[in-house]
A and B are shown apart, each in its own frame.
Chain A
Amino acid sequence: MKLFRILFLTFIFSFYAKAQVSTATISISFEDLSRVNVLERLENLTEYEFYYIAEWFDDKLISGEYKDVKLDLLLKDIFEGTNINYFLIDTNRVILTKNNSIYNELPEGFFGRKRKMVSTDKEIRKETPPVFYDDLISVGRKKIETHRIGKENKNKIQRNYKLSGFVTRVDTGEPIPNLALVVKNQNRGTVTNEEGFYEIELFAGASILQVKALGIENMEKRVIMYNNGVLNMELEESLEQLDGVTVTAEVNKNVKDTSTGTEEIDIEESKNIPLVLGERDVLKVATALPGISTAGEGATGFNVRGGNVDQNLILFDDAVIYNPQHFFGIFSALNPFAIGALNIYKGNIPSEYGGRLSSVFDIKTKNGNTENFAGEASIGPVTGNLLLEIPVLKEKSSLLIGGRGAYADWILRSLDEESLNNSQASFYDVMASYRHNIDEKNDIKATAYYSRDDFSISSDSLYIYANRLFSFSWDHQFSKKSRANLVLSNSEYKFDIEFDSDSDDDFNLDYSIMETTAKLKMNYQYNTKLKLNYGLESKLYNVSPGSISPLGSGSIVEPFDIDSEKALESGIFLSGNYDVTEKLSLDAGIRYSFFAALGEASQRVFTEGSPRNEGTVIDTLTYEKNEVIKTYGGPEFRLGARYLLTPDFSVKVSYNNMIQYIHRLTNNTTVSPIDTWKLSDLNIRPQRGNQFSLGFYKNFDGDTYELSLEGYYKRSDDILDFKTGAQLLLNENIETEVIQGDGKSYGAEFLIRKNNGKLNGWLGYTYSRSFIRFDSPFSEERINNGEFFPSNFDRPHDISLVANYKLTRRFSLSTNFVYQTGRPVTIPVGSFNFNGAQFSVFSDRNSFRIPDFYRLDLGLNVEGNHKIKKFAHSFWTFSVYNVLGRNNPFSVFFVTNNGQVKAVKSSIFSIPVPAITYNFRF
Chain B
Amino acid sequence: MVLVLLFTINCTEPFEFEAEEFENILVIDASITDEIKTQEILLSRTFLSGEEEVQESGANVSVVDDTGVVYQFQELQAGIYVSSIDFGAVSGREYKLNVQTRDGVSYSSASVSLPPVAEIEQLEAVRTTNELGIDGVAILVNAISQGQEAGFYRYEYEETYRIVSLFKTFEQLVVVSEDPPMLELVVKDRDEFFCYDTLGSNVISITDTQSFSQNRVSDFQVRFIAKDDPIISSRYSILVKQFTQSREANAFYNTLQEFSTIESIFTQTQPGFIEGNIRPDNNPEEKVLGYFEATSVTSKRLFFSFNDIFTQDDPLRRPCGDERRVSRFDSELFTLITSGKWRFLSTDPLDESQTIYLLVKTNCVDCTLFGTNIKPDFWLD
Contact = CB atoms under 8 A, between A and B. Distances in A.
Task: Kindly state the interface size class of chain A when it binds its partner.
Answer: 35 or more
B132 A418 contact: yes
A420 B8 CA distance: 11
Contacts of A907: 7, 11
Contacts of B84: none
A738 B219 CA distance: 34
B273 A842 contact: yes
Interface string A775-795: 000011001000000001000
Given A423-B9, A833-B53, A556 B44 contact: no
Nearest to B257: A896
B73 to A, nearest CB: 18
Interface string B216-250: 10110000000000000000000000000000000
Contacts of A840: 49, 259-260, 271
B265 A843 contact: no
A346 B359 CA distance: 79
A423 B23 contact: no
A842 B265 CA distance: 19
A668 B266 CA distance: 9
Interface string B15-36: 1110111111101010000000
Nearest to A830: B46
B272 interface: yes
B5 interface: yes
Contacts, number: 247
Interface in A526-578: 548, 556-558, 560
Given A328-B266, A556-B212, A779-B284, A831 B202 contact: no
Contact of B256 (A382, A504, A834): A834
Contacts of A829: 19, 21-23, 46
A833 B29 contact: yes
Contact of B275 (A779, A836, A891, A899): A779
A436 to B, nearest CB: 38
B5 to A, nearest CB: 5
Given A895-B262, A905-B13, A382 B251 contact: no
A655 interface: no
A416 B56 CA distance: 53
A826 B272 contact: yes
A385 to B, nearest CB: 15
A837 B22 CA distance: 20
A526 to B, nearest CB: 51
Pick from B22, B262, B272, B274 the residue with the most CB of A within 10 Å. Answer: B272
B69 interface: no
Interface stretch (B100-108, B285-293, B302-310, B364-372): B285-293
Contact of B213 (A556, A895, A899): A556
Contacts of B45: 832
Contact of A330 (B4, B14, B19, B253): B4
Nearest to B4: A330
B17 A903 contact: yes
B268 A668 contact: yes
A903 B16 contact: yes
B374 interface: no
A669 B268 contact: yes
Interface string B125-137: 0000001110000
A827 interface: yes
Interface in B264-282: 264-275
B47 interface: yes
Contacts of B9: 419-420, 423
Contacts of A843: 23, 272-273, 287
Contacts of A841: 23, 25, 46, 273, 289
B131 A458 contact: yes
Pick from A792, A887, A906, A907 the residue with the most CB of B within 10 Å. Answer: A906
B183 interface: no
Given A830-B19, A898-B202, A725 B272 contact: yes
Given A298-B265, A848-B17, A557 B211 contact: yes
A727 B5 contact: no
Contacts of B42: 833
B52 to A, nearest CB: 11
Contacts of B269: 667-669, 725
Interface residues of B, number: 76
Nearest to A836: B202
B268 A904 contact: no
A299 B135 CA distance: 34
Contact of A503 (B6, B25, B219): B219
A99 interface: no
Given A419-B133, A425-B5, A843-B287, A848 B20 contact: yes
A836 B200 contact: yes
Contacts of B201: 836
Nearest to B25: A841
Contacts of A848: 17, 20
Contacts of B1: 327, 382, 406, 408-409, 411-412, 425-426
Given A557-B211, A830-B25, A836-B202, A425 B4 contact: yes
A827 B19 contact: yes
A668 B16 contact: no
A730 interface: yes
A751 to B, nearest CB: 31
A104 interface: no
A381 interface: yes
B8 A908 contact: yes
B107 to A, nearest CB: 14
A904 B12 contact: yes
Given A504-B219, A830-B48, A904 B13 contact: yes
Pick from A668, A830, A892, A899 the residue with the most CB of B within 10 Å. Answer: A830
B348 interface: no
Nearest to A423: B5
Interface in B303-330: none
Contacts of A27: none
Given A381-B3, A408-B2, A725-B255, A835 B17 contact: no
Interface in A387-424: 406, 408-409, 411-412, 415, 417-423
Given A557-B213, A837-B204, A724 B131 contact: no
A839 interface: yes
A560 to B, nearest CB: 6
A899 B255 contact: no
Interface string B44-64: 111111000100000000000
Contact of A556 (B22, B216, B260, B271): B216
B187 interface: no
Given A459-B131, A840-B259, A826 B7 contact: no
Contacts of A835: 29, 156, 202, 204, 253, 256
Interface in A663-677: 667-670, 672
Contacts of A908: 4, 7-8, 11, 265
Given A425-B4, A909-B7, 14 more contacts: A381-B3, A556-B212, A667-B269, A668-B269, A669-B269, A724-B271, A779-B275, A836-B156, A842-B271, A845-B272, A891-B268, A898-B202, A902-B14, A910-B7
12 contacts: A412-B1, A415-B2, A672-B266, A725-B272, A830-B49, A832-B44, A842-B271, A887-B11, A894-B259, A895-B260, A903-B16, A909-B7
Interface of A: 277, 298, 327-328, 330, 381-382, 406, 408-409, 411-412, 415, 417-423, 425-426, 457-460, 503-505, 507, 548, 556-558, 560, 667-670, 672, 722, 724-725, 727, 730, 779-780, 783, 792, 826-837, 839-845, 847-848, 887, 889-896, 898-899, 901-911, 913
Interface of B: 1-9, 11-17, 19-25, 27, 29, 42, 44-49, 53, 131-133, 156, 200-204, 211-214, 216, 218-219, 251, 253-256, 258-262, 264-275, 284-285, 287, 289-290
When A and B form their complex, which 5 residue pairs have the shortest distance between CB atoms, in order from nearest? A725-B255, A408-B1, A724-B272, A899-B202, A830-B46
